[in-house]
Amino acid sequence: DYGLSEADPEVRAIIDKEKDRQFKSLELIASENFTSRAVMEAVGSCLTNKYSEGLPGRRYYGGNEYIDELEILCQDRALEAFHLDGKKWGVNVQPLSGSPANFEVYTAILKPHDRIMGLDLPHGGHLSHGFMTPKRRVSGTSVYFESMPYRLDESTGLVDYDMLEKTANLFRPKLIIAGASAYPRDFNYPRMRKIADTVGAFLMMDMAHISGLIAASVVANPFDYCDVVTTTTHKSLRGPRGGMIFFKKDPVLGIDLESAINNAVFPGLQGGPHNHTIGGLAVCLKLAQSPKFKIYQNQVVSNCGALVGQLIEHGYKLVSGGSDNHLVLVDLRPLGIDGARVEKILDMASITLNKNSVPGDKSALVPGGIRIGSPAMTTRGLQEGEFILIADLIHEGVQITLEAKNLVSGSKLQDFMQFVSSPDFPLINQVSALRKKVE
């Protein structure tokens, strides 16, 4: 049996290049993080070899003595990490990731074509919350359920709860979804609970982006108000790629959530759980209960605040004017530039972030904003002073992008991409100088 270098030097080389990229670049994608060596050890272990369809004590395969022990440990730690009473809340740790976890909840508590309301994707919501366009039902959620998104108030950049209430009263959804992929503020859970109760809907929170912040109690706690809470495990929580579903143990609207959700995960939508991921998750959930983790999450928010302050200093317009959490959304439209072009130039300078739509945008491919997150670089040990510097570096990249845009002959995004990628791109020295500063 060979190690990777001998068995497959080609894959080894690709992994080494990716490791080098991760090490050298400023990783500012809000949904990414660097997990710990302990988590990676568990994920790369023999746990990947085992089949264990079913739940602990009720498996469809033999040899699951230790896998049962592991999954129960993981469940217990999940409840502890989020300060939950095991008599009132249960958890399923088998979802393969965030999108499957959400779809599992929908199929557990809804019938095909029941109505749902989640935050619209161009306003910060996630695809799996029911995204569709006037022409196409993009997400599977909108194919199998009837989706009517709620939106932000474009003048404030905050969720328009009044409109959500009005629409919910007319649309009568069976499920209202809180949570987002690009929303820099907390959700108003008490208000959403009230709206859900008025129309007889379930309230679910998808806390994927902020689960680490919630575990460390640095943002509001959705468990006090929601019936179901889903999450990915690889973002601010700093675990392996995976998902979890938390559910109330008492029946809600006549449904026993525990059996409905467990059955939706398996056999409804999944087969054997990824036990190596569950092993990594158990490790992550132990670390998430340490005092160090709380310090880390406070630093994530504080670093994001420093970034916000310096971006405002540079004159940028931010959606909602700032941030309460780990991410900031910059509206680049007042500068006459878009997120796609800025993402490209910053990428060339080893600053990794993503283009993002901002309220009022026309195109998702050439959106008007960028999303910047603080979790990954906080894991790397950066503090407020360095995040101020990051804002300066991003500003430099935006200036180069503006200059480059003025030099391109065509107006299409493709023209710009070709121009900046060509060997004689006239601003390449400026980009290289920026990359040197980053690295």
What residues make contact with ligand PLP under the rule CB under 6 A?
Answer: 31, 97-99, 126, 128, 179-181, 206, 208-209, 232
- Let me know if 51 is a catalytic residue: yes
Which residue, 98 or 369, has its beta carbon nearer to ligand PLP?
A: 98
Nearer to ligand PLP, 100 or 279 (CB): 100
Supply the minimum distance, in Å, between the C-beta of residue 95 and ligand PLP. Answer: 9
Task: Quote the tokens at residue 414.
Answer: 């493709």
Choice among 50, 51, 191, 386 that is catalytic: 51
CA distance 277 to 233: 10
Shortest Å distance, C-beta 237 to ligand PLP = 12
Helix axes 65-81, 275-287, angle to 10 degrees: 40
Q: Which of 35, 141, 232, 352 is catalytic?
A: 232
* Residues comprising the chain, all counted: 439
C-alpha–C-alpha distance, residues 182 and 198, integer Å: 27
Given the residues 27, 206, 338, 343, the one annotated as active site: 206
Count of CA atoms in the C-beta half-sphere (13 A) of 63 = 6
| 167 has catalytic annotation | no
Q: C-beta of 389: minimal distance to ligand PLP in Å? A: 27
What residue number has its CB nearest to ligand PLP? Answer: 98
Q: Which of 185, 235, 238, 355 is catalytic?
A: 235
Least Å distance, CB 335 to ligand PLP, is 26
| Nearest to ligand PLP of 92, 99 (CB atom) | 99
How near is the Cβ of 145 to ligand PLP at its closest, in Å? 16
The answer to whether the beta carbons of residues 308 and 318 sit under 8 Å apart is: yes
H helical segments located in 314-412: 339-348, 375-379, 384-407
DSSP strand pairing (115-117 vs 146-147) = parallel
CB of 110 to ligand PLP, least distance (A): 17
- Of 339 and 397, which CB lies nearer to ligand PLP in the complex structure? 339
Neighbours of 400 (CB within 10 A): 21
232 an active-site residue?
yes
* Contact indicator for 155, 331 with CB cutoff of 8 Å: no
- Please say which residue, 59 or 126, places its beta carbon nearer to ligand PLP: 126
- HEC string of 62-74 equals CCCHHHHHHHHHH
* From 12, 53, 161, 437, the catalytic residue: 53
* 331 in catalytic set: no
Compare residues 103 and 387 and give the one whose CB is closer to ligand PLP. Answer: 103
Contact 333, 288 (CB under 8 A): no
- Closest to 125 in 3D by CA, of 356, 397, 394, 383: 356
Is 206 an annotated catalytic residue?
yes
Contact between 177 and 227 (Cβ < 8 Å): no
What single DSSP character describes residue 395?
H
Has 154 been annotated as catalytic? no
Active site residues: 51, 53, 206, 232, 235, 241
